[in-house]
Structure 1
Amino acid sequence: MSNRGLNWFDRFIPAALHIPPQEWFRAAIGALLALVVAGSACSYLFGSAATLHLMAPLAASTVLLFAVHSGALSQPWPFLGSYVCAAAVGISLHHWFGPGLMVASAALLLVILLMCLLRCLHPPGAALAVSLALADPSLAAMGIKVIEPVMLNALIVLALAVLYNRLTGVRYPKINVSHKASHATADQPASERVGVSPSDLDQALEEIGEFVDVTRNDLERIILATQRHAVQRSLGGITAAQVMSRDVQFATPDTTLEQAWKQLASHHLKNLPVLDDSGKLAGIISLSDLVAPAMAATRFSWRALFGRQKQVRLGQIMSEPVITVDSDRQAVELISLLCDQGLHCLPVLENGKVVGVVTQTDLIAALSQHLLAQERLAEAA
């Protein structure tokens, strides 16, 4: 067989799902529970005949809500909105024209247009519209009240999807989260000022001109993760241990405010790890942590006048818990911590002990040296 023929057959080979087997079972069990609970409640209130006629579209919806929970089609508004549209279109056409192939086809056409117009595209909604257009006499006799069992099923499945997904560690529904700068200003986070921006994504989606079944936030996460892996590969496996400063200046919980100021000033530091008596990290002190107590110490008080003012100890004002990294953490993973989260210092641990710190300066210097080395290699080649 020619290569052209083999390439044609290759199109039918399914792409890898990149979903672990435990996720298959998690989604299947959730969908089963939702269908059983919704079906039981609907059967009790509206009878088994009406319930069984509505189960097929509902089963398709459970696949989306439990197995494809990140998709744009699986979010609450597309799910609920499509069911409202399907109920209105399907039962109306059945009432006016009766069941038939052309009526079902018209229901499909109208519900797709209506779902697109209302931004609630959800494929099982089209199946529901066709089912209602072909409804048996028991279901058709309900008239517009058919929306009651339809929405009962939808609300039960949605409630269980939110509860079950959250309990099993899945964030659902997907909420568009805007990234804010760590300094509470109008600026974008530092990592987003260069590279792919939200406006770039909007323009790319418009150019594609097709529906993409992924939320924009998830699409952005995929792109950023891809960029991170590419940068990590190009950095050649540089780790925190290679970047960190090893001569760690530290304080203890009993260090006074005045001693901390002197230590920071003498070493030109902005942060001091605070270690307890066993040498374990208890907290961290930054210049901003010292400002308020220092200003309070300069205010007039009768205690200060008679020399009875208590010394402020770092144990009273240190920040805890502390964000730390292991010594084998990839340098590319430190970038977001030191840029977007506003941290100036990351203590590095080995076996629970502080063995170094990585500052913004350390990371910038290491990246600069790596880029220079890459440039020299490129020139030599």
Structure 2
Amino acid sequence: MCLPFPRLKNALLCRILVYVVVIGAFAVPAVIVVKLPFVPDGIKALACIGAMAGCLVYAIKNFCILMELDILFATLHCYNTARACFTLPRSFSAQSVRRRISRFGHPCMPTALAPQPQILRYKSSAPMTIYSSGIEKLMAVYSVELLDQEQYRLIVSSAKANARALKGAKKHRFLDRAQRSAPLHQVIVIVILADRVEEQLRAGLSDIVDKGGGDGSETAALPCVVDLERRSCTFDSMRLPYVGFGYPVKNRGIRLIRRYLFGGRFPYAASPQTLPPIVGLEPEQTLWRFWRELRDEPDSNNRKTIKRFKKMQHGDMTVEDGYLYLKWQDHGIGVPVKLHTDARTVEVGAIDQWLYPKANKIAKSTVESIKDMIAERFAAEGCAVTYTIDT
């Protein structure tokens, strides 16, 4: 029987518990043995070595599942902490925001492209890792009475032009070879202080700001629309999961927004506008049940494959869930397939390995025979077959 907690909605706790369980399952018995006074020192040493070896073997054997869990829970935590829109705190003041941003970095002269930002600040930091040659952070502040779609587009274009003009403005010394050849990371936060927002723009604002620009890892543009009339702040608050390599610059931009617009803390309690739930993922599902299902999924797929091909006879062919399954004597193949009804063509994946009973290379003569059988099957339906999908 599984414990009723934690649940997937507590993604950060789930991520921590994965490591605690894996390490603790081997460390706790070893610690207990070491603490027993009547156990000889040799047995204690063997217990410690055995625990470390067992943990290492388990981690290697289940490396893919553990990494999948880690990335999934990291992404889910970022998703759960994101909001479609944040409610401004009562203490929010546009003047104080301008004053705080004016102390960030150093001022820069904006480009001639209109509209020009009221405040343009630039800060460049030396890299701490080999994944970048520098980290540039920019903040541009614009003020408008009425923000419509065209005005929003012009402001974002102006901010991006300023970011391009300032890219690489400061050179860092004492970089090693890997850092010099690494890309320059840059993020610009575009703060738009709007007295009012056009209703048509306001209705789809959360979707529009998500298209700020950049990949989020090396470059990012974060439009942040502050609706002073509705006391709301809309920006792309979905962080990218950090998995131990280069820290995403998008996350740095979100930290700037949190510090300079919200005083260092997002008002989660006052901002219930969470993102839509992820399809196929149950937030109330427990970690232990999800972990077990993820672990048993490959075995379940193997059982389905064995059951399918045992029922099929030589030459039987079926298409299910975008895959074509064909039984050839005592073997079977499963390849991706796409049917284009308008063009009357079928794209079939490369046929080079058996799926059943185990993965082995298929002889060339057998491949040609299988292709002839597939072509004959679809020719009866008036479709031509092409092999363009790589497996």
- TM-score interval (norm. to shorter): under 0.3
Q: Max radius of gyration: which structure?
A: 1
Q: Whose strand proportion is higher, 1 or 2?
A: 2
Query: Structure 1-normalised TM-score?
Result: 0.23
